[in-house]
């Protein structure tokens, strides 16, 4: 509570000079606050533009070390892997997710062989990059089956852990999957493999460019409202987080980011657990295109990223993470 009154109290005194403003900054950003998403594709010597995401590309595995080298040079603690799966390898059951020669598994082996533990690797646990219908689980008459999907996710998680994944990130929103994945990991000796649960993932319209990036957009049948959260709800987020913590989540994610700063704050204040925010593809594309068209200054990037820290996020998954040296200067 502020005590005192004007004119003896003048809050603008602290804002007069740059050095004073810097001295009393409450929130700031460093590279340690960021996770860099990397999109993977088949082939060699490929750097494919993602048209809906200016400045973001898919890379073939032979270019992966260049991207990770750059991430390390910029001081980033972790990268996140997302595959663009060939449509011929997709089917109703998403069986490519369990193939030890899939893109994510190959990428894990490359990164761990070259870098050991110099950088963390986060892997998405969900079936949407692998299914022919674009959903995160097994589909039956338009409904994603919960328990049957979890059995596949357990095997996907074990495979990724075996290949060296540091942080498993279930983004599927199936009830009970965190507990079953944790139990399976512990049973198989992966006690120290971390789980970052997408505990609060809303059925959002901000995901479009990402779905193009992983090749699920044109395949998606219907919507994901019967498993992802209703954007009108907030207390439901607390229930989701509470359950996932009880089941063994080490960290939790709120997704999307900017429209849900209130949720990030709510989760952080209630649970005191590491909370990650995902500045999703739609947020990125809106900002990038507005900057490109001269509608706003590129300083809006820093402003938007600071808002995550201000709301309580420990780290941010952002497509701007590979340009931090320019953003934070």
Note whether 278 and 253 are within 8 A (CB): yes
Cβ–Cβ under 8 Å, residues 315 and 35: yes
Average pLDDT over residues 41-48: 97
DSSP β-ladder status, 275-278 and 251-255: parallel
Contacting residues for 236 by C-beta, under 8 A, at least 6 apart: 229, 230
Q: Is residue 221 flagged as an active site residue?
A: no
The percent of residues in the chain predicted with pLDDT above 90, rounded, is 94
Burial 169-190 (b: 16+ CB within 10 A, else e): bbbbbbeebbbbbbebbeeeeb
- Distance, CA of 305 to CA of 253 (rounded, Å): 16
Q: Tell me how far apart the alpha carbons of residues 264 and 277 are, in angstroms, rounded to a whole number.
A: 7
Among residues 250, 276, 197, the alpha carbon closest in space to that of 34 is found at 276
Check residue 88 and give its pLDDT: 96
Adjacent-strand bridge partners of 38: 81
- Mean pLDDT, all residues of the chain: 96
| Average of per-residue pLDDT across 18-36 | 94
pLDDT for residue 218: 86
The per-residue pLDDT for range 275-290, each reduced to its tens digit, is: 999 999 999 999 999 9
Give mean pLDDT, residues 11-17. 92
- Token readout for 198 is 């997408």
Cα gap 235→230, rounded to integer Å: 11
- Would you state the structure tokens that stand for residue 167, as one six-digit string? 């942080």
- Cα separation, 305 vs 48, in Å, equals 26
pLDDT value, residue 5: 87
Dig out the tokens for 305 from the structure.
């990223």
Among the options 201, 224, 268, 309, which is catalytic?
Answer: 201
Average pLDDT over residues 234-243: 98
Residue 292: active-site member: no
pLDDT digit string, tens, across residues 247-274: 999 999 999 999 999 999 999 999 999 9
| 227, pLDDT greater than 90 | yes
Contact 241, 267 (CB under 8 A): yes
Q: How confident is the model at residue 9 (pLDDT cuts 50, 70, 90)?
A: confident
Domains of the chain: 28-327 (3.20.20.70)
Whether 16 shows a pLDDT value over 80: the answer reads: yes
Strands 139-140 and 120-125: unpaired
Per-residue pLDDT, 3: 76
* Of 90, 180, 255, 268, catalytic: 255
pLDDT score at 190: 97
pTM: 0.94
Residues 6+ apart with CB under 8 A from 258: 279, 283, 304, 307
C-alpha span between 82 and 49 (Å, rounded): 15
The pLDDT tens digits for 125-160 are: 999 999 999 999 999 999 999 999 999 999 999 999
């Amino acid at each position: 509570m502020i005590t005192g009154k004007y004119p003896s109290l003048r809050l603008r005194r602290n804002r007069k000079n740059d050095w004073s403003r810097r001295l009393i900054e409450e929130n700031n950003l460093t590279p340690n606050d960021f996770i860099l998403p990397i999109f993977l594709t088949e082939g060699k010597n490929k750097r494919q533009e993602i048209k809906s995401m200016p400045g973001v590309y898919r890379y073939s595995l032979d270019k992966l070390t260049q991207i990770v080298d750059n991430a390390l040079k910029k001081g980033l603690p972790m990268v996140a892997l997302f595959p663009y799966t060939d449509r011929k390898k997709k089917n109703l059951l998403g069986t490519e997710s369990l193939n030890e020669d899939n893109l994510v598994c190959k990428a894990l082996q490359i990164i761990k062989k070259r870098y050991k533990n110099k950088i963390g690797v986060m892997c998405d646990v969900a079936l949407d990059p692998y299914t022919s219908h674009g959903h995160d689980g097994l589909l039956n008459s338009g409904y994603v089956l919960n328990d049957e999907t979890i059995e596949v996710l357990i095997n996907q998680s074990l495979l990724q852990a075996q290949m060296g994944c540091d942080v498993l990130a279930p983004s599927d929103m199936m009830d009970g999957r965190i507990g079953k994945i944790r139990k399976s990991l512990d049973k198989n000796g992966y006690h120290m493999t971390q789980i970052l649960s997408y505990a609060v993932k809303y059925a959002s319209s901000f995901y479009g460019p990402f779905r193009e990036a992983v090749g699920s957009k044109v395949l998606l049948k219907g919507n994901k409202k019967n498993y992802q959260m209703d954007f009108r709800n907030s207390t439901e987020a607390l229930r989701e987080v509470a359950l996932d913590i009880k089941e063994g989540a080490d960290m939790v994610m709120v997704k999307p980011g900017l429209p849900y700063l209130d949720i990030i704050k709510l989760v952080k204040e209630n649970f005191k657990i590491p909370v990650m925010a995902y500045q999703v593809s739609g947020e990125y594309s809106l900002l990038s295109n507005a900057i490109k068209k001269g509608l706003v200054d590129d300083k809006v990037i820093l402003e938007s990223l600071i808002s995550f820290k201000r709301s309580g996020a420990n780290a941010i998954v952002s497509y701007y993470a590979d340009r931090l040296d320019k953003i934070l200067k």
